Structure 1
């Protein structure tokens, strides 16, 4: 059993969809900026891997350690949700309490500098270092 349906065309015109054009210079500028940031990140990673900047090296170790502790406490989706919530709430809280956060941040930064100076004097200065040779290929 077949049914034959005839549809009549409506007399309304089709909706107007605006033409979207992305300027070429905008795309080129974005690509150049992205390339610059990626190259800068690679340069930082190289400096960390070579061990020339011990401060960055220690910060990376601490960050990876913190990430491993957080990762062992929860699964990936929970960690992703926590990061999502934090990234959406911290900027709002910072805007609201900017003055108090900045003063605590300055006090904390001064304390971190003091502790790093002590650590540098007692531990890092006693680590023997060989001559650094940068091989060029």
Structure 2
């Protein structure tokens, strides 16, 4: 049991070190976004209200998902496909232009 806990704590510390040193930018922005979200929610309410609300959500959401699983899954898949289409459009319009601009600036330097 001790070896299991030690291994997981070491994994967490290694990931934290990578985030702090800037080796994993994507994970850094995920952590920053979640911390910002927690800060905003914490600023809007007090701890006791947040605790009660979280308890209600944790107890009701799984039951509602089990009951309406087919509907939720179909809408989730539909939304995922729509987001993929929007990402392809965004990528083709802006990201490729930005990459070309960076390459041109690097050639000039």
TM-score (norm 1): 0.52
Partner of 2:16: 45
Extract unaligned runs of 5+ from structure 1: 1-27, 127-137
Counterpart in the other structure of 2:41:
70
Match in the other structure for 1:90:
61
Gaps spanning 5+ residues in structure 2: where?
103-109
Larger Rg: 1
Offset at 1:108?
A: 4.4
Please, what is the CA RMSD of the aligned residues? 3.1
Name the counterpart of 2:7. Answer: 36
Aligned residues: 94
Deviating above 6 A after TM superposition, structure 1's stretches of 4 or more consecutive aligned residues are: none
- Structure 2 equivalent of residue 114 of structure 1: 87
Q: Which has the higher contact order (CA 8 A, sep 6+)?
A: 2
CA spacing shift, 1:33–1:73, aligned 2, 3 Å: same
The equivalent of 2:28 in structure 1 is 57
Comparing both structures, which one devotes a greater share of its residues to helix?
Answer: 2
